[in-house]
Structure 1
Amino acid sequence: MRTTPISAQPVDRTGRWLASLTHWVLAHKRLVAVGWLALTLVGFYGAAKVTDALNENFTMPDSASTITNERIVSRFDSGGATPPLVAVVTLPSGTTASAPAVRADLRTLEQDLARAVPGARIASFGSTSEPAYVSDDGRTTFAIVHPPSTVVEDAGPSGNEISDATLARAEQAAAGARVGGAEVRLTGAALLAREAPGESGGPSFLNETLIAGVGALIVLVFVFASALALVPLLMAVVAIPVTLLAVWGLTALTEVNLVVVFLVSLIGLGVAIDYALLIVMRWREERERGRSNEEAIVHAAGTAGRAVLFSGTTVAIGLLSALVLPVPFLRSMGYGGLLIPLASVAVALTLLPVVLATVGPVADARRLRRTDRAERHWAAWARLVIRHRVAAALGGTAVLVALCIVAQGMLLGSPEARSLGGTGDPKAALEQLDRSGIGAAPLAPIEVLTPAARADDTAARLAAVDGVRAASAPRGAWRADGDAVVEVLPRSDTNSQAGRDAVDAVRDAAAALPATTVGGGTAETIDFVDGVYGSFPLMLVLISVVTFVLLARAFRSIVLPAKAIAMNLLSVFATWGVMTLVWQHGVGTELLFGVGPSGAVLSWAPVIVFAFIYGLSMDYEVFILARMREEYDRTGSTDEAVVRGMAGTGRLVTSAALIVFLAFASMATAGDADLQVLATGLAAGVLIDALIVRSLLVPATVSWLGRWNWWMPERGRRLLRLPAVIPAAESVNTSSARAPGGRH
């Protein structure tokens, strides 16, 4: 194997540029400080305005189901992707729905519900005489209510929800009704979700950011043991409002989703602190070596600042990769996510040197305790990992692979009805449906749009489809402008795997019928998953190629980037495994969130987790490997580079990961179930990456690969336009190269 000689002091254009930038910043401290102060003040104004300019549209346009749902809403002013309300009755023993008195009561119930929800599309056995609305024993029956679009609001990633005022009127109408002498209970996805533990009337990004900020300050005080702990937090206070100001400007050019505000605030808090933390710790280290304050700032900017620049670029690319996805709200997260690391890098490379030059020495003058003990602990840990590198590498990999296998069984979609709600009437009504054999399908029916003249025939054909319990073609408000809506009720909850199979079967059958298309919330979810995750390989290739090129140039190696990408992918897919265990299978869900398993993982959460965790994990990878590369250039020994690199960055990476973890954990306090799913993935991803990948796999594999880590073919060096290097005392050539099992 032929390698390029290693340089102890490589000619680095990026380092020289950063040193020049830092000298300029230090020469114009007042200008830089005033500029950032002005941007921050304007940013706070923009942060107050940005939420009013955001949208809550989570649909995928142009999909077959979305188009069908839009047509249903335009013709009938109801239904589509919005789950209906369902009024459930279990009749006394010996009474069935076919009794004339019961049918009359059902028609009266429909009238009461129509008065409570004007313009609603309603059907029951009373008005249709169709068995779709009655259990096999005839004792349990229901009326389905599709509220008009005027009372439906887009209330979050779960989809459209019915307004509280409408729910209250409908509940009052149901509570005052009697059918066959039995009470009527109202249920529906909106009512069940409202009863779910932890729902608190909507999230507030300011509260969650403040909670995360307090947690970050506690960690920083532990790390620095001095007033210097406030400096990284100050950088976040600047970076977050400036980024939100940019997001506000972005809303004038394209649609931006509400979730972007949470991600900017919480990711921005973590990333801005991480970047400042890296530079401040290196600045402190250089001052302890005897450099003057200005020399320490310039050297920290040229070394740690270089890692920050490459990290920020890599994180931005990870988030920008969401632009290839065919969903506007996911693309808006890509735009918003791009701004987070860029603003944080700009603050770290310009404002931070000014703060260190003016108040840094004073802030660090009095320390509560010595902080060098952590470096000795991390050096000892690195030596332990090196001694047992094979076992460490195989053990860490085994854990990640096991979680990746779990992720293969991930079911993407909305929660099953049985996972929602507490112990009130909505839950009791759902249990009545389950006990009767009707099941939860009426809460998320398949809505089929078909010509009115063929409605009865369409219902008869779809009722015979495998997995379908019944289909109904009501008249009246269910037919308009030559079209009709046929309600198809599978035997299983449409949000379950069996229910989705039934949706697919209904679509296949509908494709053979003239001018007949399938809508409903589950069909829209299926199209969303197919569209987004069908584009996922392209996103994966794009992010891998670009990050490989960037890291190959940063590390002057083709082995380290390839290994970094492989580890990051393992880390992300293992995180998906944790999300599957928690939310689909219920491992720890009750303990952490006070709710049961949803039976599925929120459809859009894994791809967002991928973009952010890939970027953040690459962030930490650059922090560690940049230091190892630096130490290897200095010593020529791979194992020594691992020990010194871990000693210098171990505390940094674990502290940074803990801060980001607290930021994500605070997102789970928002009381919004969708954000809790997202927070679970993000927080778990950070812990997996910091504890298993960075603390175990990185030192083990770098030591295991030896000098293969630093291999860069001459052709690769020319293609990447890497600068010339000066041979170190111990250069690598064919005679000294060895197999990956070596220790040097």
Structure 2
Amino acid sequence: MIRWGSFIVRRRWAVLAVSLLFVIIAGVLGAKVSDKLITGGYIDQSSASAEADRELADRFAGGTPNLILLADSSGSVDSETARQAGTALTEKLRAEPNVTEVQSYWAAQGNPELQAGLKSRNGQEALILARVGGTESEAKKQVKAMADRYAGTTGPLTVKLGGQTAVDNAVDAQSASDLLRAELIVMPITLIILLLVFGSGVAAGLPLVIAGVSVVGTQFILDRLTGVTDVSIFALNLTTGLGLGLAIDYSLLMVSRFRDALADTGDTERALQITLATAGKTIIYSAITVACSLAGLMAFNTFFLKSFGYAGIAVTALAGAAAVITLPAVLAILGPKVNALSIPFLRRRREAREASASHASRGWTSWANRMMRRPVLFAGVVLAVLALLAAPALSIQFSLADDRALPSEAPASQVSQALRANFSTNGQDDVKVVAYGTEGSAPDRVADYASRLSSVPGVDRVDALTGSYVAGHQVAPANALSQRFAARTGDGSYLTAQTHIDPLSAQSRDLVKAVRDLPAPFPVQVTGQGATLADTLAGQAQGLPWALGIMALATIVLLALMTGSIVVPIKAIAMNVLTLSATFGIMVWVFQEGHLKWLVGDFQETGYVVSNMPLLLLCIAFGLSMDYEMFLLSRIKEEYDRTGDNRRAVVAGISRTGRIITAAAILLAVVFLSFVTSGILYLKLMGLGTGLAILIDATLIRGVLLPSVMALMGDVNWWGPRFLKRWSASFSHGESAQESAPESAQEALAAPAVGAEALPAEHATASSGRA
């Protein structure tokens, strides 16, 4: 890193030019990425329920309608004018290209059973259901174009468009506007805080250098990925939030070190060498750890979660690269001008800190010494607070993503709300069974299976090719409408099991298991909301150990190499578990139980948490927590190597990083908390959860609990086998005793701390002071 610093100084303009060229090319090629990203991806498409859904859509007329027209007559849907308007609307929809399986209340005369499900209880609303074919993107484009022709007033009918495709279009539009609004909110606030933290206008603008490279570069990478896989539109939100957040973190660490080193040496090249040998290596370790944590999302077989993994790994890698390549080039060009456009009172405080021997904050030093005197008390209070915050997580209930992620006033969501509230049966709660190989003696075998299926506890009625069944008995014979259960191509049929059970409840998953366990005379596959949720949770349960293993392994290896201890990594994981537990507890209390709407904005309360979100929050929050862990432990380890005094090392680490970690946490939290303004529930949860996790980690964990526990454990913190100590000496981040108060500059730059890289001899003698 020392040689790299010299190279950057000599080639600073070339490095900056290459970085600028990369941003321009990536910006041009990735400018249209939002048009290629899609919604959905919340379920495992390889699951049995997803395969059954595809069969229903491809081979039967039982595929879930992806377009719903809700017609409100403000009177009776059976009036002559309403009937004429509804019939005309139905025929108009049937004439649309690529639209099939149209079912309409007004076209179902003579089929009372079908009509009952298409008419509201009060008789004022009716439904027209259809499937829009083609790929997901093609269907969305067609429905978006149809909205102008169908939504609004048709005679006495007021029509709203709903269904999954309309919901997806609404999510796309809401996500784009939310992202723009979040940027408009966060940018001025962030710039003001940056100005106050850095103390100068020039330094405050440096995070934008890293953010530009990482965010624009990631958009280009996502654009390329859309050519080979599906990528969620929400990946853009993480790209912006995490890119700007890491840019702030890494800039604070680099600029703070550069300023201190510049104040000590008075030489830009030497200051940059010291900065890269210390802060630069910490950032490399941090970026690898954060990227590995986000790589845990790749263990889940849904493209929604994988998309965040793609975006997170890319933006973290680019932010780390920009922090040790592009930013040093800018610092080499600026030199002392990094402090230009300073705010007077902040400049005086900075100069006083730089003039001190340790570059430590007096306030944080006092706080650290107070904790060292009463570590048991401080640790006990924090653990009690975290336990209280985590308690609601014990009652967490999971659900699938649906229209309720949208604001309640969104038309697509209002259609679904009307279906749940005003229609006696709409098929959303049904358990559907696809049966294969039902030729030959099919009627008898189907009838026998349908009869036994209707006896399963929780099943109210079974409709099949052979008629209808209740409690083990046939209650209605087959009729013309029953033919919809037959396959259009090949052999086979399907059955629907109506149920009164909430499809997102644990009882529904028990029902699905009972249906799947029911012996059948032919191969069957089960689907429906309950089956989809059961398969989704099962798939996530399979991926979770791999995700946890990736994160834990990365944490243990990297922290062990950095510190030479096996105790420190284990303790770090335990601290992160506490942070995540408290965060999950707050998320359940707010979003599952419906508290704090006055603060986070209104949302549709469901009594559940979408199952993807805790997994997403787990990986993001874990990675960002490790970011601050690296910052703090690197300084503590440096002082411990120099003095061998654990308590002194902890105080030194807190006093020298407290200001930086706190400022970085506030800025990063502001970035993510801006997502709370979103109208989409997922973004609200991600923004609030990540923001609070960052603040909890930077204050209660890094500011109190971790140093208190380290003080109690003493030298045990640093225990590790001898071979690990040797590895640590080889791979350490290079946070040597450069800031540890040696008597001369040569000692500062060449001190043989574990893993430290000494400056070349020709540079060492020229330094004066500490970095």
> Which interval holds the TM-score relative to the shorter structure?
0.7 to 0.9
User: What is residue 10 of structure 1 aligned with on the other side?
Assistant: none
Cα offsets for 1:186-222 (capped at 9, x unmatched) = 8966699799999847446455445433332222111
Structure 1, unmatched stretches of 5+, are 1-17, 93-100, 178-183, 732-744
Greater relative contact order structure (CA < 8 Å, 6+ sep): 1
Q: Which amino acid aligns with 1:346?
A: A
Shift of 1:597: 1.9
Q: Do the aligned residues in 2 keep the contact of 1:548 with 1:561 (CA within 8 Å)?
A: yes
Identify the match of residue 387 of structure 2 among 391, 401, 406. 401
The answer to whether the 8 A contact 1:192-1:420 is kept is: no
Alignment equivalent of 1:49, drawn from 23, 32, 41 = 32
**Structure 1 range deviating more: 356-365 or 143-152:** 143-152
Which deviations, in whole Å up to 9, do the C-alpha atoms of 1:437-482 show, x marking residues without a partner?
948x744543433468657766554444323344444435554334
2: CA distance, partners of 1:381 / 1:568: 22
Contact 2:37-2:232 at 8 Å conserved across structures: yes
Gaps of 5+ in 2: 95-99, 354-359, 465-480, 743-751, 753-771
The residue aligned with 2:253 is 278
State the alpha-carbon separation in 2 of the partners of residues 161 and 469 from structure 1: 38
Aligned to 1:494: 503
Q: Which residue of 1 aligns with 2:193?
A: 219
**Superposition deviation, residue 622 in structure 1:** 0.3
Cα separation, 2, equivalents of 1:269 and 1:388: 37
Q: Is the 8 A contact 1:80 1:520 kept in 2?
A: no
| In structure 2, C-alpha distance between the alignment counterparts of 1:543 and 1:380, rounded to whole Å | 34
1:28 is aligned to 2:19 = no
- For residue 45 of structure 1, report the CA deviation from its aligned partner: 1.0
Match of 1:535 in 2: 543
Structure 1 SS opposite 2:607:
coil
Q: How does 1:369-384 map to 2 (within 5 A)?
A: 369-370=345-346, 371-372=349-350, 375-384=361-370
Instruction: Flag the 1:113–1:72 CA change in 2: closer, same or farther, 3 A.
Output: farther
1:70 CA drift (Å):
0.9
Instruction: Determine helix, strand or coil for the equivalent of 1:535.
Output: helix
Q: Which residue, 275, 280, 283 being the options, matches 1:305?
A: 280
Of residues 393-402 and 37-46 in structure 1, the stretch that sits farther from structure 2 once superposed is 393-402
Residues 687-743 of structure 1: CA distance to partner in whole angstroms, max 9, x if unpaired? 2222221122122112121111122221433566747999999x9xxxxxxxxxxxx
User: What corresponds to 2:690 in structure 1?
Assistant: 682
Q: Distance in 2 between matches of 1:203 and 1:189?
A: 21
Structure 2 residue 346 is matched with structure 1 residue 363: no
CA–CA distance in structure 2, aligned partners of residues 207 and 426 of structure 1: 22
Cα distance between partner residues in 2 of 1:271 and 1:384: 31
Report the Cα distance in structure 2 between the residues aligned to 1:424 and 1:625, rounded to whole angstroms.
48
**Residue identity opposite 1:219 in structure 2:** I
Displacement, 1:529? 2.1
Is it true that 1:115 corresponds to 2:91 in the alignment?
yes
Shift of 1:421: 6.5
Q: Could you tell me which amino acid in structure 2 is paired with residue 43 of structure 1?
A: A
CA change 1:607–1:195 in 2 (3 A) is: closer
Counterpart for residue 74 of structure 1: 58
Q: Which amino acid aligns with 1:494?
A: P
Give me the whole-angstrom Cα distance separating, in 1, the residues matched to 2:521 and 2:673. 49
Q: Give the letter for the 1:363 counterpart.
A: V
Tell me the SS of whatever aligns to 2:720.
coil
The answer to whether structure 1 residue 468 and structure 2 residue 459 are counterparts is yes
Tell me by how many angstroms 1:536 deviates. 0.3
Q: Which shows bigger deviation, 78-87 or 264-273?
A: 78-87
| Count, aligned residues | 693
SS at match of 1:355: helix
Residue 520, structure 1, aligned to residue 528, structure 2: yes
In structure 2, the partner of 1:241 is: 216
The offset of 1:500, in angstroms, is 4.2
- Give the structure 1 partner of residue 576 of structure 2: 568
Q: How does 1:695-710 map to 2 (within 5 A)?
A: 695-710=703-718
2:679 is aligned with 1:671: yes
Residues 574-583 or 312-321, more deviating: 574-583
- 2:588 corresponds in structure 1 to 580
- Cα gap change, 1:116 to 1:638, in 2 (>3 Å): farther
Rounded to whole Å, the distance in 1 between the matches of 2:71 and 2:522 is 33
Larger deviation: 230-239 or 337-346? 230-239
Partner of 1:388: 374
Q: For 1:253 and 1:171, locate their aligned partners in 2 and report how far apart those are by CA, in whole Å.
A: 35
Distance 1:574 1:89, change over 3 A: farther
Secondary structure of 1:163's aligned partner? helix
Change (3 A) 1:495 1:169: farther
User: Alignment partner of 2:206: what SS?
Assistant: helix
SS of 2:434's partner is strand
**Which SS does the other structure have where 2:301 is aligned?**
coil
C-alpha RMSD over aligned residues: 4.3
Match of 1:60 in 2: 44
Could you list the per-position Cα deviations for residues 27-54 of structure 1 after superposition, in whole angstroms to 9, with x for gaps in the alignment? Answer: 2112111111111111221330333443
Asked if 1:410 corresponds to 2:418, the answer is: no
Query: With structure 2 as the length reference, what TM-score do the two structures score?
Result: 0.78
TM-score by length of 1: 0.81
Preserved contact between residue 133 and residue 141 of structure 1 (Cα < 8 Å) = no
Distance 1:400 1:222, change over 3 A: same
After superposition, the Cα gap between the structure-2 partners of 1:88 and 1:247, relative to the gap in structure 1 and judged at 3 Å, is closer
| Contact 2:207/2:244 (<8 A) preserved | no
- 1:658 equivalenced with 2:666 (yes/no): yes
- Correspondence 1:611 to 2:619: yes
Q: Please state whether the residue corresponding to 1:313 is helix, strand or coil.
A: helix
What's the CA shift for 1:418? Answer: 8.2
Q: How far is the alpha carbon of 1:279 from its aligned partner? A: 1.0
Cα 1:500–1:87 shift into 2, 3 Å:
farther
Q: What SS does the corresponding residue of 1:594 show, helix, strand or coil?
A: coil
Whole-angstrom distance in 2 between the partners of 1:393 and 1:162: 59
Distance in 1, matches of 2:180 and 2:417, equals: 39
- Measure, in 1, the Cα distance between the counterparts of 2:513 and 2:67: 19
Alignment match, 1:449: 434
Instruction: Measure the CA separation in 2 of the matches of 1:500 and 1:83.
Output: 27
1:9 is matched with none
- Which residue does the alignment assign to 1:12? none
Q: Could you tell me which amino acid in structure 2 is paired with residue 468 of structure 1? A: V
Question: Equivalent of 1:293, from 265, 268, 293?
Answer: 268
What amino acid is aligned across from residue 395 of structure 1 in structure 2? V
Change (3 A) 1:595 1:223: same
Secondary structure of the corresponding residue to residue 325 of structure 2: helix
Q: Which whole-Å CA distance do the structure 1 matches of 2:666 and 2:310 have between them?
A: 26
Is 1:38 aligned to 2:21, yes or no? yes
CA distance in 2, matches of 1:239, 1:204: 21
Q: Which residue of 2 aligns with 1:736?
A: none
Structure 2 Cα separation of the partners of residues 507 and 630 of structure 1: 59
Q: Give the SS at the match of 1:690.
A: helix
Q: Which residue of 2 aligns with 1:263?
A: 238
Q: Residue 590 and residue 204 in structure 1: after superposition, are their counterparts in 2 closer, same or farther (change >3 A)?
A: closer
- Three-state SS of the structure 2 residue aligned to 1:489 is strand
Read off the aligned partner of 2:365 and give its amino acid letter. A
Q: Which 10-residue stretch deviates more, 675-684 or 72-81?
A: 72-81
Q: Which amino acid in 1 is paired with 2:103?
A: I
Q: Which amino acid counterpart does residue 91 of structure 2 have in structure 1?
A: R
1:325 and 2:300 are equivalent in the alignment:
yes
Does the 8 A contact of 1:450 with 1:483 survive in 2? yes
Structure-2 change in CA distance of 1:490 and 1:721 (3 Å): farther
164-173 or 397-406, which deviates more: 164-173
Instruction: Give, as a single letter, the amino acid of the residue that structure 2 aligns with 1:65.
Output: S
